[in-house]
Amino acid sequence: MDIATLRATYPDHWMKAAALRALAMDAVQAANSGHPGLPMGMADVVTVLFEKHLKFDASAPHWPDRDRFILSAGHGSMLIYGLLHLCGDAQITLDQIKAFRQWGALTAGHPENFLVDAIETTTGPLGQGIANAVGMAIAEQSLQARFGKKIVDHRTWVLAGDGCLMEGISQEAIGLAGMQQLSNLIVLWDNNDITIDGRVSVSDRTDQRARFAASGWTVLHCDGHDPADIDRALTAAKEASGPVLVDCKTIIGFGAPTKADSYQAHGSPLGDKEIAATREVYGWPHAPFEIPAEIAAAWKAIGKRGAADRAEWQERLSALSANKRDEFLRQMAGGAPKKLAAAIRGFKKAQSAAAPKVATRKASEMVLGAVNDAVPETIGGSADLTGSNLTKTADLGVFGPGNRKGRYVHYGIREHGMAAAMNGLWLHGGVRPYGGTFFCFTDYARGAMRLSALMGAPVVYVMTHDSIGLGEDGPTHQPVEHLAICRATPNTWTFRPADIIETAEAWELALSTSDTPSVLALSRQNLPTLRTAHSNQNLSAKGAYVLAEATGKRQAILMASGSEVEMAMNARAALEAEGIGTRVVSVPCMELFVAQDEAYRRKVLPAGPVRVAVEAAVRMPWDRFLLGERGKEAKAGFVGMEGFGASAPAERLYAEFGITAEAVAEKVKALL
Ligand SMILES: Cc1ncc(C[n+]2csc(CCOP(=O)(O)OP(=O)(O)O)c2C)c(N)n1
């Protein structure tokens, strides 16, 4: 249908969509930066979605039973800002639209959930949103199974572009959602055939519909500019079983006389001349940022559509027993239950007495046994390494199409998809996600791990096989730089516990924060319990602490994490035997140590003694504690890895790479 016919056939719809298009053109022009093409192309689809299908109430962006709307193609951010503004969102005022992409504005370049309540997730890195949405859909199904359909019954809608679908992560998301048969997930594909470099055909010839269908999705299509056809497709999408792709055929920069259907509409302002000509095409004579009262009122009414639904939901919630209601609200709020601290204390007390010699991955499994009982909202999983990561505890049950009560997800060999889904699980609310793979494969998950940190999503990454200590699998599997990368990432706690007690403490911290993701780097090899004297206090909360004090005059301080703490203790024994007073500082979490006040840091790392750090990884993150924190280069040494590992049994590798208690003791003596 051409524009004249659309305008004539659907005048009310046309003007509402034109308001959205004009806001996008004008805000991008004012900012002299941004992406007008997507909002102009998808305005019809989202107008129909918001007017007829999306369950939401603009006055209550945190209403737990709202539909989630994810703009996976985050570069089209003016689409969501325009929608929120027009629907009467309290935060996205007209001034915010005018300040698009400027310092301090809520209307950041790409949508940021931590700035705007109604934005469900941070998008911009293409493909993340669609994978977040899979986690949100899983969360909805899990909560529905636990609290009932009267309280939890909503959908997740995703707007994804060609870019999202080209990213590899989309395949992981599609595969997982298809297998899980998530009927509450609908992806609206902005099929405009344009990316930055030009036509999609310059880089892709995938039959996207066939790809989704091959993974068990229902595939529908519509003319993305014809409101009746859009409505038909969205209605059908809600009725289909399993996840749905709606192929919306659209034109990027719709209506712009010379730039529509071209990459020129994608990511730069259209220019005053083109905008003026587009206004003519739209029949939109209004000044920039001016919305006629009648159209503004129509949009405001859309924003209020869900108010009655919400009131009814509120009544159903009130009708629940107080216990169930409180538990629902507690889980949605994301705080750890009181039982957690007691469970961890009990676990530590028993294990410090039993003093088992177990790998920290095994210790983690043992902790999880207690944690999963105390915290009913955990959903665990692994990227096909369940038996190695030891993430599945007894009685969790497997989440699947036939068992939505299951609390364990077999994510398959999809590290990136798993990490992004876990972000979605958390962002949905009501779930504490954790998931495992080999530490080395944080690289594969990294795009989503970075977003956990940026968004403040306290996802727990259970990363086992944390060093050359994994042995025979060799250098492809042996992380050496990964601790440095995780520690370099802002707002991420990287825990490398030394024994079962520190493992329990790391889990407690990871599950008690509501705004920081944690990486638990866990060993494959057995480690003795070093903390045999029980303390109710969580010593790992300080990040580093004195594990063993020098008996005589303190001449050396050894610092270590994880499996090398045992080595530091052995080196200390040897040095002490030679009369060299040696302190051992265990460093389970550098980030938490750095956050302590100077008095504490000085107590742990006083000036004077020789300092040697040992960790089977690269030196980089240790420099702060070797050279800084009152340290001196001439009195500092490191024992660790300089290159990649090799294939051999772990003991041989440690010997060959010179990471031994003897080497640590020798280094101390050379520096004294
Ligand atoms: C992971 C990632 N890679 C690259 C980019 C840069 N980028 C932003 S939009 C875009 C093209 C997307 O094309 P499409 O999804 O078709 O969007 P449209 O042109 O329809 O607006 C690219 C490459 C990005 N945002 N994220």
Q: What is the pLDDT of residues 158-194, one digit of tens each?
A: 999 999 999 999 999 999 999 999 999 999 999 999 9
Contact 237, 177 (CB under 8 A): no
Average pLDDT, the chain: 98
pLDDT at 492: 98
Residue 39 in contact with ligand 1 by CB distance below 6 A: no
Q: Which two tokens stand for residue 228?
A: 């009746």
pTM for the predicted model, two decimal places: 0.98
3-state secondary structure 544-586: CEEEECCCCCEEEEEEECCCHHHHHHHHHHHHHHCCCEEEEEE
The Cα 642–Cα 624 span in angstroms is 18
Render pLDDT for 606-616 as a digit per residue (tens, 0 to 9).
999 999 999 99
Q: How many Cβ atoms are within 10 Å of 649's Cβ, its own excluded?
A: 10
449 SS3 class: helix
Q: Among 126, 261, 451, which is best to mutate for testing ligand 1, by the most ligand atoms less than 8 A from CB?
A: 126
Q: Which atom of ligand 1 has the smallest separation from the CA of 263?
A: 19
428 falls in which pLDDT band (50, 70, 90)? very high
The Cα 469–Cα 479 span in angstroms is 10
If you search the block for the tokens 């002299």, which residue do you land on? 32
460 falls in which pLDDT band (50, 70, 90)? very high
| C-alpha distance from residue 558 to each of 469, 503, 532, 546, 568 (Å) | 20, 21, 20, 10, 6
The Cα 640–Cα 653 span in angstroms is 12
**Whether pLDDT at 620 is above 90:** yes
pLDDT at 485: 98
The Cα 594–Cα 650 span in angstroms is 31
Q: Which atom of ligand 1 has the smallest separation from the CA of 74?
A: 25
pLDDT at 129: 98
Residue 75 in contact with ligand 1 by CB distance below 6 A: yes
Helices and strands per DSSP (H, E), number in the chain: 27, 20
The Cα 640–Cα 660 span in angstroms is 9
From its phi and psi, is residue 244 left (phi > 0), alpha (psi between -120 and 50) or beta? beta
The Cα 524–Cα 543 span in angstroms is 22
CA-based radius of gyration for the chain: 28
> Closest Cα to residue 616, out of 466, 488, 502, 485?
466
> CA 551, 556, 559, 560 torsion: positive or negative?
negative
Residue 133 in contact with ligand 1 by CB distance below 6 A: no
Sheet-wide strand order for 636-639: 545-548, 581-586, 554-560, 610-614, 636-639
1 falls in which pLDDT band (50, 70, 90)? confident
Contact 19, 291 (CB under 8 A): yes
Render pLDDT for 271-301 as a digit per residue (tens, 0 to 9).
999 999 999 999 999 999 999 999 999 999 9
| C-alpha distance from residue 164 to each of 128, 208, 246, 531 (Å) | 8, 12, 14, 48
Q: Which two tokens stand for residue 558?
A: 């050894």
Distance from residue 204's CA to the centre of ligand 1 (Å): 14
Q: Among 158, 195, 259, which is best to mutate for testing ligand 1, by the most ligand atoms less than 8 A from CB?
A: 195
What are the beta bridge partners of residue 157? 69, 186
Residue 122 in contact with ligand 1 by CB distance below 6 A: no
pLDDT at 234: 98
Distance from residue 127's CA to the centre of ligand 1 (Å): 9
Render pLDDT for 57-107 as a digit per residue (tens, 0 to 9).
999 999 999 999 999 999 999 999 999 999 999 999 999 999 999 999 999
Largest CA distance in the chain: 94
Q: How many Cβ atoms are within 10 Å of 402's Cβ, its own excluded?
A: 8
Helices (H), 181-287: 208-214, 227-239, 272-282
Looking only at the bridges linking them, the beta strands covering 408-410 and 378-382 are parallel
| Number of residues that this document lists for the chain | 672
Q: Which two tokens stand for residue 22?
A: 């004009």
pLDDT at 531: 98
The Cα 223–Cα 239 span in angstroms is 19
> What percent of the chain shows pLDDT beyond 90?
99
pLDDT at 518: 99
If you search the block for the tokens 């090799």, which residue do you land on? 646
Q: Which atom of ligand 1 has the smallest separation from the CA of 38?
A: 21
The Cα 421–Cα 452 span in angstroms is 11
The Cα 244–Cα 645 span in angstroms is 45
Render pLDDT for 191-246 as a digit per residue (tens, 0 to 9).
999 999 999 999 999 999 999 999 999 999 999 999 999 999 999 999 999 999 99
4 SS3 class: helix
Distance from residue 443's CA to the centre of ligand 1 (Å): 21
If you search the block for the tokens 């000085």, which residue do you land on? 602
Q: Which two tokens stand for residue 134?
A: 């899979």
Q: What mean pLDDT comes out for the span 463-489? A: 98
> What percent of the chain shows pLDDT beyond 70?
100
Residue 37 in contact with ligand 1 by CB distance below 6 A: yes
Distance from residue 71's CA to the centre of ligand 1 (Å): 12
If you search the block for the tokens 């915010």, which residue do you land on? 96
Residue 36 in contact with ligand 1 by CB distance below 6 A: no
Distance from residue 196's CA to the centre of ligand 1 (Å): 7
Q: Which two tokens stand for residue 463?
A: 């990363």
Could you tell me which residues come within 8 angstroms of residue 445 by beta carbon, excluding any fewer than 6 positions away? 415, 416, 418, 419, 437, 461
Catalogue the active-site residues.
415
The Cα 447–Cα 393 span in angstroms is 28
Residue 621 in contact with ligand 1 by CB distance below 6 A: no
Distance from residue 22's CA to the centre of ligand 1 (Å): 22
Q: Which two tokens stand for residue 151?
A: 């309280």
Contact 415, 437 (CB under 8 A): yes
Distance from residue 83's CA to the centre of ligand 1 (Å): 21
If you search the block for the tokens 């689809």, which residue do you land on? 45
| C-alpha distance from residue 101 to each of 24, 34, 77, 120 (Å) | 12, 8, 10, 19
pLDDT at 42: 98
Quick one: how far is CA 140 from the chain centroid? 17
Residue 435 in contact with ligand 1 by CB distance below 6 A: no
Residue 250 in contact with ligand 1 by CB distance below 6 A: no
The Cα 77–Cα 34 span in angstroms is 8
